Amino acid sequence: MEASVTATPGKTMGRPSVGKASGGSSESKRSERLNAKRVLRALRPYAAIAPSIVILAVFWIYPIFEMGGLSLYEWNLVNPEKVFVGLQNYITLFQDVQFRQTLVSTLIYMVFTVGLSVVLGMLCALHLKRVSRRNRFLQAVIFSPYVISLASISLLWLWIMNRDYGLLNQILSVFGVSPVDWLGDSRVALASLIAISVWKSVGYDALILTSALQSVPENLYEAAELDHAKPWATFWKITLPIVSPTLFFLVIVEVISSLKVFETIQIMTQGGPQNATNTIVFSLYQYAFKFYKVGYAAAIGMVLLVLVAIFAVVYFKVLEKRVHYR
C-alpha cells in the first residue's frame, strides 16, 4: 500500500529560508547599534562633568564630612588618639564670650566691606561708563590695588597707619590733630581693616559694573529723558534692574571674600587689640595650629559653614524675584 504525501500549496517543506533569517539578524544588530549610540549620547554630558564631580567630591564634600566628624572629638594634632566628646565642642564654643565677639566682628566686617565696596563701585562706574581715554586711565588706576597681593597691601598699610611715623598721622599733624593708633586702638582697629578691604575691592567692583552699565541700551535713557524722568527715577527704574544680575554676582563674591579674610589680620593685628579684629577664619586658624585644638577648630568651621548656607538660602530667596535676567 503506497503512502500518499500531500503537499500544502504556498508552503515549502524542509529548513526555513536562509534569507529571512539573515535579514532578521541584521535588523537586530542595527537596532542594538542604535540603542548603544543613544546610550552613549545620553551618557556624554555626564562623562564631561565627571572630572569636576570627582574633584568637587574629593576636595570639597569629603573635607566637610571629615571636618564635621572631627568636631565631635578632642584632638591635639600631635597625639594620634582622638577622644570622642560629642557636642561638647559646640557647647563650649557658644558659651565662649570671645567667640561671640569674634562672630559679631566678622558680621560687622562683612556687612560694611560688602556694602561700601558695592556702593562706591557703583558710584565710580556711573562716573566712568563713558568711553574715553581719561576714563580708561582712571579705571586702570582704581583697579590696580586689586591685582596686588594682600600681603603686600597689608605691609604698605601697616606703614601708612603706624602711630609714630605713619603717613596718615603725619597728615593729621599738619592740621593739629593728635596721632591716632589706627591698629592698636580697639575702637578704630576694625574700621581701619574695613577701609583697607574697601580700598582694595572697589576698583574690581567698579570695573565689573562699568561693563554692565555700558550694556544698557541708550534708547531707554532717551525715552526716559523724553518723559522728563528724574535722574534718580531713571537709575531706579532702568539702570538698576538691568545691572541687577551683575550686582547679584558681586555681592556673592564680596561676601565670600570678606569671610575668607586672613592675611590682613595675620600681618597687621593678629586679631587684636582685645580681640577687636578677630574673625571666624582667623580664630579657626589659631585654635587649630597655634593652640592645637583641632576638634574645637573644626566646630568653628562647621559654624562658619552653617552661616554661609543660611546666607545663601536667604539671599537667593529674597532676591530671586528682584533680579532681572534679559
Residue 29, pLDDT score: 73
Residue owning grid cell 534569507: 19
More confident site: 152 or 24: 152
pLDDT digits (tens, 9 = 90+) for 83-95: 999 999 999 999 9
Residue 120 corresponds to which cell in the numbers above?
Answer: 562706591
- Residue 11 CA to residue 9 CA, distance in Å, equals 6
- CA dist list (Å): 256 to 7, 94, 261, 305, 322: 89, 23, 9, 11, 21
CA-CA distance, 192 to 74, in Å (whole number)? 36
What is the DSSP code (8-state) at residue 265? H
- Residue 31, pLDDT above cutoff 80: no
What is the spatial distance between Cα 56 and Cα 98, in angstroms, rounded to a whole number? 34
The pLDDT of residue 27 is 75
Domain over 99-282 is classified CATH 1.10.3720.10: yes
Using one digit for the tens of pLDDT, what is the confidence trace for 115-127?
999 999 999 999 8
- Alpha-carbon span 291 to 286, nearest angstrom: 6
- Residue 220: which pLDDT band, with cuts at 50, 70 and 90? confident
Given a cut of 70, whether residue 67 has pLDDT beyond it is: yes
pLDDT at 173 over 80: yes
Q: What is the pTM of this model?
A: 0.82
Cell of 81: 588618639
The string of pLDDT tens digits covering residues 249-259 is 899 989 988 99
pLDDT at 22: 54
Q: Which residue has the higher pLDDT, 108 or 318?
A: 108
Q: How confident is the model at residue 3 (pLDDT cuts 50, 70, 90)?
A: very low
Confidence band of 23 (pLDDT split at 50, 70, 90)? low
Taking the mean position of all CA atoms in its chain, how far away is CA 162? 33
Residue 133's pLDDT band, with cuts at 50, 70 and 90, is: confident
Question: In angstroms, rounded to a whole number, what is the distance separating the alpha carbons of residues 137 and 156?
Answer: 23
What is the pLDDT averaged over residues 15-27?
A: 56
Q: What is the pLDDT of residue 18?
A: 47
For residues 101-135, one letter each, b for 16 or more C-beta atoms within 10 angstroms of the residue's C-beta and e for the rest, the string is: ebbebbeebbebbbebbbebbbebbbebbeeeeee
Residue 284 — very low, low, confident or very high, per pLDDT cuts 50/70/90?
very high
What number of other Cβ atoms are within 10 A of residue 148's Cβ?
11
Average pLDDT of 37-65?
87
**Phi (first) and psi of residue 74, to 5 degrees:** -110, 120
User: Is 296 a residue whose pLDDT tops 80?
Assistant: yes
Instruction: Count CB atoms within 10 A of the CB of residue 57.
Output: 10
pLDDT at position 74: 92
C-alpha grid cell for residue 62? 569629603
More confident residue, 68 or 30: 68
Rg (C-alpha) for the chain, rounded Å, is 33
Sign of CA dihedral 10, 14, 19, 25: positive
Confidence of residue 326 (pLDDT cuts 50, 70, 90): low
Mean pLDDT of the chain: 86
* Secondary structure letter of residue 324 according to DSSP: -
pLDDT at 19 over 70: no
User: Which pLDDT score is estimated for 68?
Assistant: 92
Taking alpha carbons only, the member of 303, 305, 299, 291 closest to residue 88 is 299
| Mean pLDDT across 158-167 | 91
Q: What are the beta bridge partners of residue 83?
A: 74
Q: What is the DSSP string of 76-106?
A: -SSSS--EE-TTHHHHHHHH-HHHHHHHHHH
pLDDT at 224: 85
Q: Strand ranges (DSSP E) for the chain?
A: 73-74, 83-84
Res 16 pLDDT > 60 = no
